[in-house]
């Protein structure tokens, strides 16, 4: 099955689908550092460009669209305005691509979208309501959605994300992948020999370990067995109630980029060609490979049962 990948980042969502036997024909991202990482690992089929500037008639043939699209406020929130509800948002660009392909009699068989857990409650629920209505009513897909946690798919990281899986076939019955037993802890993924720069200075430790100030108060813990969600701003080193810190040799340190990659399901042969700051951002934004693979496999099994799976 040929895939068009949007908002690809460093390739977490793509990696899972590749492992499940799909083929990424075209990918896109506007972050030059993410594209650098993607190219180092997957090849030159990714385009560095704002998706809003891509010419639809230049897109290659594809059977599916996948993408972890950014969540933005919708500029117009009418009840029955269809595409008008989503203009000015990146979701609209996805819908526009699908609509273009429908007009060309090349409607994608499957659409897979990933977003934050709070997508359903974003803008008092109106964002998700609009997305679902456009997918079902305007684009005529059968839509399935669920919140999946990375810790339920073999990775010791609490990371809840909304997955939306859409099928062109209205008769399809789809179930999200079953949860798996977690046999790893964060400590199992730590590197043994770590550079000095990752260890915290005595001066910053009291701030990192504090429980917050003013109106923000949260318990700071380190050495967790299951990591907190990796975030795109890890390079800034937040308090331990938000970021992950571990003890090694009686000293406290932050996670290394390689450890963050492991927490997102990337194998150690995954190349990290960028600076630590960019690597933290990319892994903080990435889709967990294990979850992507589980979803991709479930979709593949569903398509095979329908007789709609295509080997490229």
Q: Enumerate residues 6+ apart whose C-beta is below 8 A from 175.
A: 298
Determine which one of 10, 71, 166, 260 is catalytic.
71
Calculate the CA 40 to chain-centre distance: 19
Structural contact between residues 217 and 275, judged by C-beta atoms closer than 8 angstroms: no
- Please give the Cα distance from 186 to 205 (Å, whole number): 21
Specify burial of residue 176 (Cβ count, 10 A radius: 0-12, 13-18, 19+).
Answer: middle
Please compute, for residue 110, the number of CA atoms within 13 A of its CA located in the half-sphere on the CB side: 28
Q: Enumerate residues 6+ apart whose C-beta is below 8 A from 79.
A: none
Under DSSP, the state recorded for 178 is P
Structural contact between residues 197 and 267, judged by C-beta atoms closer than 8 angstroms: no
**Is beta strand 23-29 parallel, antiparallel or unpaired with respect to 2-6?**
parallel
- Please give the Cα distance from 115 to 161 (Å, whole number): 6
Helices (H), the chain: 12-19, 32-42, 90-103, 126-133, 205-208, 257-263, 276-285, 289-306
For residue 248 the two structure tokens come to: 């090694």
Closest CA to 29 of 81, 68, 71, 78: 68
- Please give the Cα distance from 50 to 225 (Å, whole number): 39
For residue 150 the two structure tokens come to: 């990375």
Q: Does residue 10 have an active-site annotation?
A: no
Q: How many helices (H) and strands (E) does the chain have?
A: 8, 9
Q: Could you list the active site residues? A: 71
């Amino acid at each position: 099955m040929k895939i068009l990948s949007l908002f690809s980042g460093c390739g977490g969502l793509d990696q899972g689908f590749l492992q499940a036997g799909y083929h990424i024909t075209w990918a896109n991202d506007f972050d030059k550092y993410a594209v650098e990482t993607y190219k180092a690992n997957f090849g030159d089929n990714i385009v560095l460009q704002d998706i809003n500037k891509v010419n639809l008639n230049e897109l290659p043939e594809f059977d599916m669209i996948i993408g972890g699209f950014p969540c933005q406020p919708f500029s117009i929130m009418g009840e029955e305005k269809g595409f008008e509800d989503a203009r000015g948002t990146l979701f609209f660009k996805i819908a526009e691509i699908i609509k273009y392909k429908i007009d060309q009699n090349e409607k994608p068989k499957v659409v897979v979208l990933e977003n934050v857990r709070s997508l359903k409650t974003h803008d008092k629920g109106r964002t998700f309501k609009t997305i679902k209505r456009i997918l079902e009513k305007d684009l005529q897909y059968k839509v399935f959605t669920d919140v999946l946690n990375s810790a339920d798919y073999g990775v010791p990281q609490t990371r809840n994300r909304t997955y939306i899986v859409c099928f062109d076939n209205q008769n399809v019955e789809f179930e999200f992948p079953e949860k798996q037993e977690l046999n790893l802890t964060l400590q199992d993924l730590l590197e043994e020999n770590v550079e000095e720069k990752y260890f915290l200075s005595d001066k910053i430790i009291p701030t990192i370990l504090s429980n917050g100030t003013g109106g923000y108060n949260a318990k700071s813990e380190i050495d967790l067995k299951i990591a907190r969600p990796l975030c795109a701003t890890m390079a800034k080193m937040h308090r331990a109630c938000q970021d992950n810190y571990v003890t090694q040799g009686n000293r406290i340190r932050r996670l290394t980029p390689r450890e963050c990659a492991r927490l997102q399901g990337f194998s150690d042969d995954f190349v990290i060609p960028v600076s630590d700051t960019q690597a933290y951002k990319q892994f903080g934004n990435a889709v967990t490979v294990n979850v992507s693979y589980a979803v991709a496999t479930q979709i593949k099994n569903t398509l095979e049962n329908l007789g709609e799976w295509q080997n490229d």
